[in-house]
Structure 1
Amino acid sequence: MNELEINAGLAPTENYQYAQQVGAQLFVAGQVPYDSEANLVGTDVAKAQARQCLNNLRTLITLYGFKERDIRLLKIYVVGEQQNLLDAWKGVTEWFENDVPPATLLGVARLGYEGQLLEIDATVISEDSQ
């Protein structure tokens, strides 16, 4: 994590690299539902956590000079019962206004933080490079 990411509004996270740019590609580590002060957003609400993860993703890719349309692949990790997966997917589809890039929705046993239901990672490739 660097000062640029903190100043952009991403939560300070020790020993964590948010993204790595290789040419026209940006490989994004899992975005978590934390606000800029490292507070969990949407406790027990998968849809709200999905929105926060995607808002963090937008902040990050914009910081690196990419656009939302450059998101080429999402992986969405969800803790809990089937309803959490459905609610998370609803949050994702609403955020993308029903035009979601290729995505994989996965149910998992747990994630890194207490109360965290979602994590979203992405591969981003600049449209301008094609």
Structure 2
Amino acid sequence: MRAERLSPAGLAPPEEPYVHAVRAGDTLYIAGQVAFDEHNRVVGAGDPRAQIEQCWRNVEVVLRSQGGSLHDVVKIVCYFKDIRHFPIELEVRGELFGDGPFPVATVVQVANLGLDSLLVEIDATAVLAA
């Protein structure tokens, strides 16, 4: 099985040496998404909800590029600069996933996310229909 490296339309190309996602068969590994818009500008500086929503929008862009949806997500890892923003992410996730199915989740607080203005990063793994 060959792994396919993906740089979906609608996301700015990373400035560092990585791709937004790798698809290996039915499994889609999505790199940590931060609150960057399609021009690599930070969305919602100082606003954790706006940043969380942008992270999830970016995850959805990758999923849609492969014919998937949030319901294909089986695992997420949420990295918070301030763990007190976690309840906001739970609220947003509840709105996005509705009654489920829900992914497994790991949540951690980190010292830094690369830029001082970034508050959260979300990475995801999805299993897509064959």
Count matched residues. 124
What is the aligned partner in structure 1 of residue 46 from structure 2?
A: 44
> 2:40 and 2:67 mapped to 1: Cα distance?
24
What is the aligned partner in structure 2 of residue 54 from structure 1?
A: 56
Instruction: Say what the alpha-carbon RMSD is for the aligned residues.
Output: 2.0
What is the aligned partner in structure 1 of residue 10 from structure 2?
A: 9
TM-score normalised by structure 2 residue count: 0.84
Instruction: State the 1:43 CA deviation.
Output: 1.1
- The answer to which structure has the higher helix fraction is 1
Is the Cα contact below 8 Å between 1:46 and 1:118 reproduced in 2?
yes
Identity %: 32
Q: Deviations over 1:81-119 (max 9, x none)?
A: 52x222232222223235342212222111122300010
Instruction: State the 1:9 CA deviation.
Output: 1.0
List structure 1 segments (4+ residues) > 4 angstroms apart after TM superposition: none
Is the Cα contact below 8 Å between 2:77 and 2:122 reproduced in 1?
yes
Give 5+ residue unaligned stretches, structure 1.
Answer: none
Question: Aligned letter for 1:62?
Answer: R
Q: 2:126 aligns with which of 106, 109, 124?
A: 124
Give 5+ residue unaligned stretches, structure 2.
Answer: none
Q: Which stretch shows the higher mean deviation, 65-74 or 86-95?
A: 86-95
What is the aligned partner in structure 2 of residue 70 from structure 1?
A: 72
Q: 1:124 to 1:78 in 2, by over 3 A?
A: same
TM-score normalised by structure 1 residue count: 0.84
Q: Deviations over 1:31-83 (max 9, x none)?
A: 1111111111111111111110010000011112222211101111111252x
